[in-house]
Amino acid sequence: MVVWSLSVLRGGGFVLKRNALAQYYSTRGPRVGPDRILPSNKHWGTMPADAVEIRFSDLDPDCRKPPISVWTMLDNTVKRVPDRTALAVKRDGEWVKWTYTEYQDDCKSVAKAFIKLGLKRFHGVGILGFNAPEWHISAAACIFAGGLTSGIYTTNSVDATRYVAEHSRANIMVVEDDEQFKQRGQSYFP
């Protein structure tokens, strides 16, 4: 990964120099695992497996921290505050809560289930449902299993849902409940 930064000098001149942070993380960062930085000199990509350059800034203190994955962020949070409430929803007048430990455990279980069901790397998991903890668990689990989350509005037509599912290369569809599934029928899903 080669990243250059432009420094403007007094008097109108400029210096083009290699970004020290990008150089540090690309040469000394993790080589394997969820926090590795894949080498790239592209700023954008159109395919799910495309690696893109992470842009660092030497000016902002927050940009001096090494990038981390969603998995590492959740794992760090579990280590720091395992029993704090991560997700909550009111059902039938009662609050149902997940601690960060429970959230991570459920994400692991669902990620394993997605893999067992045939989720392929860089393929989608279509999630059709309203905002609920289970939606977030499914979304995070998809990422942990190597997939891409594709949220689908409950108000989408049959054709719109089919379009999202096909174009996200969804191997798996998560539906909120039997009612959502029955409303659309088996032909609704690819």
Rounded distance between C-alpha atoms, residue 87 and residue 99, angstroms:
7
Both structure tokens of 186: 């088996």
pLDDT at 56: 73
φ/ψ of residue 116, rounded to 5: -65, -35
11-52 confidence digits (pLDDT tens): 444 444 444 444 444 445 555 677 777 778 888 888 888 888
Model pLDDT, residue 62: 75
What is the arithmetic mean of pLDDT over 4-11? 40
Q: What percent of the chain has pLDDT over 90?
A: 38
Q: What is the pLDDT of residue 81?
A: 98
Q: Which two tokens stand for residue 64?
A: 């001096």
Please report the pLDDT score of residue 32 as a whole number: 65
CA distance 123 to 46: 14
Beta strand 85-91 with 94-99 is: antiparallel
Domains belonging to the chain, first-starting first, are: 4-67 (no CATH), 71-188 (3.40.50.980)
Euclidean distance between CA atoms 155 and 178, whole angstroms:
16
Phi–psi pair at 7, nearest 5 degrees: -110, 125
Beta bridge partners of 98: 87
